[in-house]
Structure 1
Amino acid sequence: MPKITTLRLAFLLILSCTTVLVRSQAIIPSRYDGFVYQKHAASTATVMIEAFYDPVCPDSRDSWAPLKQAVDHYGPRVVSLIVHTFPLPYHDNAFVTSRALHIVNELNASATYHLLDAFFKHQEQFYNAQTLNKSREAVLDQVIGFASSTLGNSLKSAITSGFKDSKTGTRTRVSFKYGCSRGVYGTPFFFVNGFLLPVSDDAIDYDGWRKIIDPLATKQRHSPSNVF
């Protein structure tokens, strides 16, 4: 192979790799993905739990109450919780409900988990069969109306504007891509101190979370503290 051709191929390879790197860096968010529970700073001096949820997934719904109960039991000095949205493609309204959470989180982070609770409680309103004969616009109006009635109608205009802002769609996609980068393929998925919990068809109950957290919390008290 002629030397000039070899050099040209090497240059194209380097250029291609650089382009891929730049493209991959473009999706890096300005801050760590996810909704921090109770607005407390996520700290590596605590037991760090990350949950990947789909707002219209029944398994996500069933797992939420015992996890929240356990986190509330220990408090923010012992346990940090971050929830990431992971809208599953076979749940028709997973993306729009996940996007609503991102919009509300920007408007008032204190209301994010209130809306998540409401989505889980009234989840059947957004199942595939329930919205089968509705247009995308009608479903969007339904989600906006639901979020507004849950959090206060004074937010309706801001929530509507949020859906018109492409940045909220980008943030929702980034959450999904982040989950994929962690090997998430369904919901719920849980990571504790960065390590994946075994995936099971059965939801972890309150006692199950206590058995996971108790020994880790004891060891963590003797570790150096870091906050991010």
Structure 2
Amino acid sequence: MTTSSSLLPALLWALSFFAVHRVPTGSAQSLPPARYDGFLYAEHRVDAGTIVIEAFLDPVCPDSRDAWPFLKEAVDYYGPRVWLVVHLLPLPYHDNAYVASRALNIVNLLNTSATFPLLELFFKEQVKFYNAQTVNMSKAAVVSYIANFATQVVADSLKSAVVSGFENTQTDLKARVSFKYSASRGVFGTPTFFVNGFSLPDSDSTIDYSGWRNIIDPLIAAQGDPREENVYFF
């Protein structure tokens, strides 16, 4: 996390970077994308009474790492009453965040059940990917390092698929779409949380388990009897 005054120039730099470093036009991603951005934490039915949480996280951000266990605990507590989507926002001053985000997209394409274990593995061993730890490594070496790291959560038979995934423009496009989606929502720091479409005040601070309970319990109580609402699927 960084103050807003220092984040805005970084965001402008990142936007200009992605504008200049475009994927060839033949494989360009049109917006909006075919599917809603983000990784769904749990597969379950969504109805009109479901509390929707969107979390914008950076796999190499210490504040994202610290916020995740509390959010996960709260979502697990509420079960199908809460629907969590994680959007990846690789911050430009975390040198390896974009490659880590690509690794998460690659693994998600190969095995959706491995996506969050990989995110948690990045958080657990995050120090390996800080700027200072890889400052003397080439970009190709960093990609190889992260690709091999990511294979820990998938079957050995998929190792080559993870490595070759970094040559697939579609995984690059998915990571770019996530960045653009974050920008479209006015998000420029991690972690940032939206609940039922609204940004939480000071959500770039770590919200502990009690904090999440204090946010969600009144929303559920205010809904009344959920059986009176019509069921729909997101």
Match for 1:213 among 209, 212, 216? Answer: 216
Query: Is residue 46 from structure 1 mapped to residue 55 from structure 2 by the alignment?
Result: no
Q: What corresponds to 1:116 in structure 2?
A: 119
Gaps of 5+ in 2: 1-28
Query: Is residue 27 from structure 1 mapped to residue 31 from structure 2 by the alignment?
Result: yes
Q: Structure 2 vs 1, CA of residues 156 and 101 (structure 1 numbering), >3 Å: closer, same or farther?
A: same
Q: What corresponds to 1:225 in structure 2?
A: 231
Partner amino acid, structure 2, of 1:73:
Y
Q: Distance in 2 between matches of 1:55 and 1:142?
A: 15
Paired residue secondary structure (1:148): helix
Q: Distance in 1 between matches of 2:101 and 2:61?
A: 11
How many Å apart are 1:153 and its aligned residue? Answer: 2.4
Q: What corresponds to 2:196 in structure 1?
A: 193
Q: What corresponds to 1:70 in structure 2?
A: 74
Q: What corresponds to 1:170 in structure 2?
A: 173
How large is the RMSD of aligned CA atoms in angstroms?
A: 1.7
Q: Structure 2 vs 1, CA of residues 44 and 125 (structure 1 numbering), >3 Å: closer, same or farther?
A: farther
Match for 1:154 among 146, 154, 157? Answer: 157
Partner amino acid, structure 2, of 1:227:
F
8 Å contact 2:192–2:204 — kept in the other structure?
A: no
Q: Distance in 1 between matches of 2:188 and 2:51?
A: 24
Q: Distance in 1 between matches of 2:46 and 2:157?
A: 30
Paired residue secondary structure (1:95): helix
Q: Structure 2 vs 1, CA of residues 42 and 105 (structure 1 numbering), >3 Å: closer, same or farther?
A: farther
Q: Distance in 2 between matches of 1:188 and 1:140?
A: 24
Gaps of 5+ in 1: 1-24
Q: Structure 2 vs 1, CA of residues 138 and 80 (structure 1 numbering), >3 Å: closer, same or farther?
A: same
Q: What corresponds to 2:137 in structure 1?
A: 134
How many Å apart are 1:190 and its aligned residue? Answer: 0.3
The size of the alignment, in residue pairs, is: 204
TM-score normalised per structure 1: 0.85
TM-score normalised per structure 2: 0.83
Q: Distance in 1 between matches of 2:47 and 2:41?
A: 12
Match for 1:203 among 201, 206, 227? Answer: 206
Partner amino acid, structure 2, of 1:52:
F
